[in-house]
Amino acid sequence: MDTNAHNPNFLIEKLNKINQNINIMVKIKKIKKDNSLQSRVYEILKNYVISPDVPPGTRLYEERLAEGIGVSRTPIKTALSRLEQEGLVIINSNRGAFKVHLTWKEAIEILKIRGALERVSLEMAGVIDDKTIENLIKLIPDADSLRMPEDIVKYLELDEKFHETLVQSGISKLFFKIIKNTHDLYRMIGLIVVQDNERAGRSIEEHRRIVEALKEKDISLAITRLNENYESALKTLEERYKAFPSLLL
């Protein structure tokens, strides 16, 4: 049995080959057509679209995607429509579907809004309980464990949970809902920012410093260090953009 069959990264790689019009036979194990079919197709396409290996503006051909995943075009259409609502895909009735091409201004706005929501959440919380601090510590890995590209992707998931946990420490359910609504766009930007062990290592250290301040019950210091974490991410994003202008409009 192919153990990679349900691995999103494996499927992303295969779909990339299809979109690049490489004239080879791509073998992808067909997914079972059960009640969860639509949600699984959605998750596969979302991971594919978010991937930095798929350039912004890439056309998403329904027929090729359906062939690659092993489904009809109906669940592909539904998934693309949902991704359009989430801001990850643009659908033009005459030209088809395309991966969104964020502008520099939009990327900056997303990071700044997320940072502002987290700061206000910490201010509203006042004091972070020990259980939340324990959960935050569990989301900070050893930098030496990040050896392979897939380790960086796994760290990004921990990074997202770390920041979402900070927001949950506040008392506003509305703030957390806004954070969840921008989750995938934030992840797309995160994949641009955290592309190597060096940036991941800095991020890990910045998270440790935030938690240290929380353990000392010093919310003001924690907010200062949270600001430093976001400023560092903004600086790295600017460096990436200068090196690869096509990443953002």
Dump pLDDT digits (tens) for 17-48. 545 443 333 333 455 555 588 999 999 999 99
Residue 13 is predicted with a pLDDT of: 57
Which pLDDT score, from 0 to 100, does residue 106 have? 93
Mark the ranges of the chain whose per-residue pLDDT is less than 50.
1-2, 5-6, 18, 20-29
DSSP E strands: which ranges in the chain? 59-60, 89-92, 96-99
Burial class (CB in 10 A: 0-12, 13-18, 19+), 212: middle
* Full set of structural domains in the chain with CATH: 8-99 (1.10.10.10), 104-247 (1.20.120.530)
